Amino acid sequence: MIKEGFGTDGLGNAAELVTLSNKNGTQVKISTLGATVASFLCKDKNGIMRDIVLGYDSAEAYLEHNGYYFGATVGRNANRIKGAKITIGGVEYQLEANSDGNNLHSGGNGVSHRLWEIDDMDEEKNSVSMKFFSADLEQGFPGNMKIKVTFALSEENELAISYEAVSDKDTIANFTNHSYFNLAGHDGGYIGGQKLKIYAKHFTALAPVGSIPTGEVRAVKGTPLDFGEFKEIGREIDSDYDQLKYVRGYDQNFLLENDGKFTIMAEAICEETGIHLYAYTDCPGFQLYTANFVDEHKGKDGAVYKERHGFCLESQYVPDACHNPQFQNPLLFAGEVYKSRTVYKLGLD
């Protein structure tokens, strides 16, 4: 395990970058700024090393482009909360209204953009744990919350991300990782030719504005959101379909119906590199996001990124579930331990 400097958080505090590697030459680099997956390197079918996640070369660059959440740990609540307000135990809490009057990814300057502390580097488990203390009412959420995220890389090329959180008041806990994958390499450009398979039969339909689920559960069958068999991400992305038009492509939440059991959520393949991604989670669903709102700018190693240069598979609760009783609520009771796990595994075809 290697630990090196990664710039600063803008306030003079040093960010660090920890590299996990295995015998296959696979490497994962995690930054303490936002507990972020900064790189995920593996050999492709021709033995060429590919870094399959978008990112930047320093903590400063992550802060400069913080609205994209490249690779970041997102919480305390991933995705959106309607009206940027939640009521817990009869008390209303005001959150930051940072997206069309709604709260997105808990607001700016949260866990995704702050320095985490390295808690543990375990050579045997090939893992690094990072912790963050989020004080009562930080970003508006009740309760002092202790958060821990562990990243482990196995010899089977699995990157396991495990979350743990505990609060001293009833609150919300809904964490995700916001990696943007490009299986042709982070500098591989448009991801439309890469194929995706999704293990979900339903998604939550969005309102025309604000990307908030209306409460309607819609079958994927017969819609461009049907990835029941492998299909190019770009094949139907520009279809004349309301849900795609509202958000300029894929940015919807799929329901896994897994009863909290650890299950496969999606697979993706890139024929050119042979890299095959398998994604698993115990969350009730996940957001597929095709980087629709990424403007042209420079990323790692001078690569130029723009819209649709990556796809995210963000495991989480249904967005705005705290206002929709038919969906599982991300409520965490005081003293209870929130636990969740997501695995991104790489294979070669």
Q: Which residues bind ligand GLA (CB under 6 A)?
A: 67-69, 79, 104, 211, 251, 287, 289, 293, 312, 314
Token look-up 């969906």 returns 327
Tell me the C-alpha distance between 157 and 213, whole Å. Answer: 35
- Are 319 and 287 spatial neighbours (Cβ–Cβ below 8 Å)? yes
Nearer to ligand GLA, 254 or 289 (CB): 289
Give the nearest residue (CB) to ligand GLA.
289
DSSP string, 112-150: GGSB-EEEEEETTTTEEEEEEEE-TTGGG--S-EEEEEE
Task: Pick the closer one to ligand GLA by CB: 273 or 290.
Answer: 290
Distance in Å, CB of 55 to ligand GLA, minimum: 14
Output the smallest distance, CB 79 to ligand GLA, in A: 6
Distance of closest approach, residue 105 Cβ to ligand GLA, in angstroms? 6
Question: From the candidates 105, 113, 178, 186, which is the catalytic residue?
Answer: 178
Alpha helices in the chain (DSSP H): 59-64, 242-247
Closest CA to 20 of 32, 33, 29: 29
Q: Is 314 a catalytic residue?
A: yes
Cα separation, 281 vs 160, in Å, equals 10
Annotation marks residue 138 as catalytic = no
Q: Which of 16, 138, 267, 314 does the annotation list as catalytic? A: 314
Q: How far is the CB of 24 from ligand GLA (least distance, A)?
A: 30
- Residue 300 has φ and ψ, to the nearest 5°, of -55, 140
Q: Which is nearer to ligand GLA, 157 or 211 (CB)?
A: 211
Query: Which residue number, 3 or 245, has a Cβ lying nearer to ligand GLA?
Result: 245
- CA proximity to 43, closest of 183, 187, 213, 211: 183
Give me the active site residues, please: 178, 314
